[in-house]
Amino acid sequence: MERPADRGASGVSLARSDRDRASEVLSPDALALLEDLHRRFEPRRRALLERRAERQAAFDAGELPDFPEETKDVREGAWQVPPAPADLADRRVEITGPVERKMMINALNSGARAFMADFEDACSPTWANLIDGQANVADAVRRTISLTTPEKEYRLNDRVATLLVRPRGWHLVERHATIDGEPMSASLFDAGLFIFHNARELTARGSGPYLYLAKLEGRQEAALWHDVLSACEEALGLDRGTVRVTVLIETILATFEMDEILWALGEHATGLNAGRWDYIFSVIKKFRSRPEFVLPDRAQVTMTVPFMRAYAHRLVDVCHRHGAHAIGGMAAFIPNRRKPEVTEHALGKVREDKEREAGDGFDGTWVAHPDLVPVATAIFDETLGDRPNQLERRGGDAAIPAADLLDVPATGGTVTEAGVRTNVSVGVRYVASWLTGTGAAAIDDLMEDAATAEISRSQVWQWIHHGKRMDDGRTVTAELARAILEEETQRLRDTLGEAGFTEARIPEARELFERVALSPEFIEFLTIPASEAID
């Protein structure tokens, strides 16, 4: 699977690729940067992952997180992040999507202020997707990205969204690229290639290399990113602070270190985002041993429940005290022209969500579909008017206590058979989509990605592990989950036919979902075993 020429040129060993742009994306100079980043920062990455495991053991033993006493001066300080670049000053609506060519063009043309091209939860990391994705991003930066199909030609409009890129998190490796026989960090692979190929071009065009950073659990992980980005700038002869980042606050531990994360990123910091789906997954994962942290059906865990409200208020307040953008959460609904009544009901929920975010002081929000851009834009236009943001606003009480962030028991709600069945059905179908190379899947009028699949499988595990009783009096057991899994799998077989069932990789998806949902021990990330099953 290795290509000796690449190994000889840089020390990086690569899987074979038949992609047209592979030699350009994986040029000797680009690989040399990746090798340097790996050798300098891989030991720190591994040490931070070991620290994650140590903290998890402490939580399993009964400990709960709190604000670090040693960084109190950072939380109470009057410091500010650098002002946002001009093309990131107004972020009232951002659209997200995978690095697939047609979807990128549509997103850039959507009318949103910004577009996050996603190598993480919305991308199945096949080698083909990663190489094509880097090529697509490079073409988008240079405004040459296009696509011709039998039905339509896709080209960029004169005015397009500002581009941001989300690399994969610190916990993942890129097994197609190895150095000294070990796979390199997926974070360094994704970010390194993006910055190498596009930073100079973006700055020449009056923009810059902008990133979203995922799955951080604290200030030390942010400090590692700071040093990595500074090393990239130094290697490419860029001014310090050219690379600007927004951090997704999508782990419960990061909530207790939001100030510290911005501080650690220094000149690279621009804002924080309320990554709501992964945040819910993180709450389940970190406190999996505690029965009081068992959540109800996924649909009942909204942004209005107490622990999520505390999280949102604190995020806005932290950002605005330090001059950083606060970006709201995802609207994952996909309008369906064949179901006007379903669409209208869902749009009402989207409007309610975005009105709450704008009223809470968020500077912008996320949507997953171009048809939602006008809906969200109208709401933020009403709040912001001609202002690019509302940095002068506060998100609530600056002294939100740890107890409020951890008040999961106040969520209330119930577990239902429909909730179990939805988690099983969505989980299996999403994993099948991932295995066949699609990381952003339209399922039941929602855009599902790895984050919602993680909630689905972790909730099933949590309910079984704690013997949760459903609203009909039955207990969620492994036997019940397997019975529902069998029924939902058979439903897919009946719908797809035997050939389609196999081609869609449903049998493998079922096995993988069952493994992560019914394992005696909690498996940290679904995406790790899933990545081992793709090319």
CB atoms within 10 A of CB 212: 25
pTM: 0.96
Q: Is residue 409 part of a domain?
A: no
- Angle subtended by helix axes 478-503 and 506-518, to nearest 10: 160
Q: What value does the mean pLDDT of the chain take?
A: 95
pLDDT band of 4, cuts 50, 70, 90? very low
Q: What is the DSSP string of 397-413?
A: -TT--HHHHT-GGGG--
| Residues, the chain | 535
Distance of CA 96 to the CA centre of its chain: 10
**SS3 labels along 21-82:** CHHHHCCHHHHHHHHHHHHHHHHHHHHHHHHHHHHHHHHHCCCCCCCCHHHHHHHHCCCCCC
* Residue given tokens 């899987």 in the structure block: 15
How far is it, in rounded angstroms, from Cα 272 to Cα 257? 12
CA distances from 514 to 241, 428, 456, 489, 523 (A): 45, 9, 12, 11, 12
CA distances from 263 to 74, 102, 215, 526 (A): 7, 37, 17, 31
- Tell me which DSSP letter residue 476 carries: P
CA distances from 421 to 88, 201, 425 (A): 41, 48, 6
- Angle subtended by helix axes 258-265 and 306-321, to nearest 10: 30
With vertex at residue 457, the alpha carbon angle to CA 333 and CA 495, rounded to the nearest 5 degrees, is 65
Based on the fold, state whether residues 361 and 430 are members of the same structural domain: no
Based on the fold, state whether residues 61 and 123 are members of the same structural domain: yes
Three-state DSSP class for residue 302 = coil
pLDDT band of 9, cuts 50, 70, 90? low
Residue at which a domain ends, from 342, 370, 403: 403
- In the residue annotation, 75 being an active-site residue is answered as no
Based on the fold, state whether residues 230 and 367 are members of the same structural domain: yes
Based on the fold, state whether residues 329 and 438 are members of the same structural domain: no
Q: Which of 45, 91, 92, 166 is catalytic?
A: 166
Q: Determine the average pLDDT of the residues in 461-467.
A: 98
Q: Where are the alpha helices (DSSP H) in 412-449?
A: 417-435
185-199, 302-316, 441-455, range with the lowest pLDDT: 441-455
How far is it, in rounded angstroms, from Cα 216 to Cα 48? 10
Q: Is residue 408 part of a domain?
A: no
Residue at which a domain ends, from 403, 426, 456: 403
> How, if at all, do strands 153-155 and 146-148 pair?
antiparallel
How far is it, in rounded angstroms, from Cα 318 to Cα 396? 10
CB atoms within 10 A of CB 34: 24
Task: Give me the numbers of helices (H) and strands (E) for the chain, helices first please.
Answer: 20, 15
- In the residue annotation, 168 being an active-site residue is answered as no
Q: Is residue 113 part of a domain?
A: yes
The CATH number of the domain where 514 resides is what? 1.20.1220.12
> So what's the pLDDT on residue 491?
97
Q: Which residues of 186-208 are buried (b: 16+ CB within 10 A; e: fewer)?
A: bbbbbbbbbbbbbbeebbeeebb
Based on the fold, state whether residues 524 and 435 are members of the same structural domain: yes
Q: Determine the average pLDDT of the residues in 372-382.
A: 97
Backbone angles phi, psi at 320, to 5 degrees: -75, -25
> So what's the pLDDT on residue 446?
83
pLDDT over 70 at 45, yes or no: yes
Based on the fold, state whether residues 378 and 422 are members of the same structural domain: no
> So what's the pLDDT on residue 345?
83
> So what's the pLDDT on residue 445?
82
What's the domain count of the chain? 2
Q: Is residue 522 part of a domain?
A: yes
Based on the fold, state whether residues 484 and 376 are members of the same structural domain: no
Q: Is residue 245 part of a domain?
A: yes
Q: Are 73 and 94 in contact (CB under 8 A)?
A: no
> So what's the pLDDT on residue 342?
80
Distance of CA 161 to the CA centre of its chain: 19
> So what's the pLDDT on residue 447?
85
pLDDT, tens only, 143-199: 999 999 999 999 999 999 999 999 999 999 999 999 989 999 999 999 999 999 999
Based on the fold, state whether residues 431 and 383 are members of the same structural domain: no
pLDDT, tens only, 110-138: 999 999 999 999 999 999 999 999 999 99
Q: Which of 92, 404, 449, 505 is catalytic?
A: 449
pLDDT over 50 at 3, yes or no: no
The amino acid that residue 27 corresponds to is: S
Q: What is the dihedral of CA 421, 424, 429, 433, to 10 degrees?
A: 150
Q: What is the dihedral of CA 170, 369, 314, 293, to 10 degrees?
A: -70
Based on the fold, state whether residues 176 and 258 are members of the same structural domain: yes
Helix (H) or strand (E) holding 353: helix 340-360
pLDDT band of 5, cuts 50, 70, 90? very low
pLDDT over 60 at 211, yes or no: yes
Q: Are 509 and 526 in contact (CB under 8 A)?
A: no
Based on the fold, state whether residues 306 and 196 are members of the same structural domain: yes
Residue at which a domain ends, from 339, 371, 403: 403
The CATH number of the domain where 198 resides is what? 3.20.20.360
Q: What is the DSSP string of 236-286?
A: HTPPTT-SEEEEEE-SHHHHTTHHHHHHHHGGGEEEEEE-HHHHHHHHHHH
Based on the fold, state whether residues 388 and 527 are members of the same structural domain: no
Based on the fold, state whether residues 90 and 61 are members of the same structural domain: yes
Domain that holds residue 389: 4-403
Q: Determine the average pLDDT of the residues in 333-358.
A: 88
